[in-house]
Chain A
Amino acid sequence: MLREITLGQYYPSDSVIHRLDPRVKLFGTLLYVISLFTFRNVVGFAIATVFLAAMIAISRVPFGFMVKGLRMIVIVLLITALFNLFLTPGKLVVEFWIFHITEEGIASAVKMAVRLIYLILGTSLMTLTTTPNQLTDGMEKALGFLRFLKVPVHEIAMMMSIALRFIPILVEETDKIMKAQIARGADFETGNIFKKAKAMVPLLVPLFISAFRRANDLALAMEARCYHGGEGRTKMKPLRYQKRDAAAYGVVIVYFALLIVVRIWL
């Protein structure tokens, strides 16, 4: 049941996108996210759609698997769309009671919904094709210059990679605890909100205890191996750019430039 959560999950496959340097993917995702907020017309939208569709196709992650991640944001999506729909002033289309729907409202609701969906799809494409370890390695290296400003880059990266690593573990644990309590007659589904909140106690207590225990064990294991932070630490698999990474940078930059051009001239 809980395995539906795909946010931050990795989907193993052997595609070019999987093999790209994580720094390229981080940079590409950043540009892509910015690009989503640059287009205003159909041409820009079409370019973004083609780009996203191409990337998904190349990545060989099943589309159905990606869409699962969208289910979680349906509510956010609806609220945003509704706010845009009802609260945008402009030319009236429909009016009832205190609600006014305007042409501009419809346009901005659709635009906002599309942007959010594209945003989630694009960013989950990055996490689906990059293992958490690669991702944090990439971030550590890409943001390495911040060290000179006394930002503890390595420590932050390490914390992130541990947190990401723990998500699937805790999801699995939650699943097991739920089963164990359902077997004892616990009911997580029926009842009003207070009853449901109370029903969470038998789930949350074991979950927290297990999370603390795991954190404790991990800290101990790291200390036992003389972990002392990033200073002087070398990598088993240092990141090195390949030819394909340069090509990928090229593709992303061309895409971004194209959208800027469209925005300025069309």
Chain B
Amino acid sequence: MSIILDKVNFTYSPGNAYEKHAIRDISLKINDGQFIGIIGHTGSGKSTLIQHLNGLVRAQSGAIYYNGEDIYDRDYDMKKLRQKVGLVFQYPEHQLFETTIFKDVCFGPQNQGLEPKEAELRAFSALRTVGLPEKLWYQSPFELSGGQKRRVAIAGVLAMEPEVMILDEPTAGLDPRGRDEILEQLARMHRELKITIILVSHSMEDVANYVERLIVMNQGQVMLDGTPRQVFAYYRELEAVGLSAPQVTYLMHELRQKGLAVDADATTLEEAKASILRALKERR
């Protein structure tokens, strides 16, 4: 079970002055159950890339296989694919429309052709999973705060019970606390529901603590692909393309240069702390 991209290319408005080659020769394999971060500067093609994964955008060349089946096959069921690969867009305002939050979350399951009772059951458990207080469920989605709207949008896709969940910049515009809450929630979903999660972000700091694999995009191409540790080792190259490694990485490299034998690959605050304490102990 996996998603495979083979030399995928996509150009917006080909053949006129607005032409933009957004995705260049991207080949990737996304395995089941991974928690993946896609990182890149604004305009690097992240959003375009993920819209290929559920067939919203059709590549001009290249192939995409979902669980071994070519999604561009004539008789491939795109609707099924969109149910299995759930995509939450950046702005929840783009999808909320119902009179109550609960009804809005029911929209996806209803489109799948489920019985109303079944759809409500799905909405119920999705709203539970994203941790939206029950007293809000029958209010209008337009009165919520930014973080709460995001949760409702996530629940709206989660209720379709996808196997892969893709989130486009789910933390953009949130305060640090709202951001951490959403990320914690996603990590929990990944642990408990055992689904693949692909998290798109332009901030390293956000994802370093959570993901097991990082894909760095630059100008429509995959620039780096590996564990956060492997990727952050290239912090100079990352800087050259306008991204920065987490603060910890810089601190650890600086400490090493000053002669403290710390582990320069530490990516999270916890790891860094442990490594510094160890190094200090050895020194004494």
Contact = CB atoms under 8 A, between A and B. Distances in A.
A3 B13 contact: yes
A231 B18 CA distance: 38
A12 B16 CA distance: 10
B87 interface: yes
Given A183-B87, A184-B156, A202 B97 contact: yes
A65 B56 contact: no
A184 B157 contact: yes
Given A11-B17, A183-B157, A206 B96 contact: yes
A70 to B, nearest CB: 16
Q: How large is the interface on A (under 10, 10 to 19, 20 to 34, 35 or more residues)?
A: 20 to 34
Interface residues of B, number: 28
A190 to B, nearest CB: 10
Indicate the member of B93, B156, B160 with the most A CB atoms within 10 Å.
B93
B111 A186 contact: yes
Contacts of A12: 17
Interface string B122-161: 0000000000000000000010000000000000110010
Contact of A13 (B13, B17, B95): B17
Contacts of A173: 94
A185 B82 contact: yes
Contacts of B95: 177, 180-181, 184, 202, 206
Interface of B: 13, 15-17, 51, 54, 56, 79, 82-83, 86-89, 91, 93-97, 107-108, 111-112, 142, 156-157, 160
Given A184-B108, A184-B156, 7 more contacts: A180-B89, A181-B95, A186-B107, A202-B95, A205-B97, A209-B93, A210-B93
Interface of A: 3, 11-13, 62, 64-65, 173, 176-177, 179-187, 201-202, 205-206, 209-210, 213
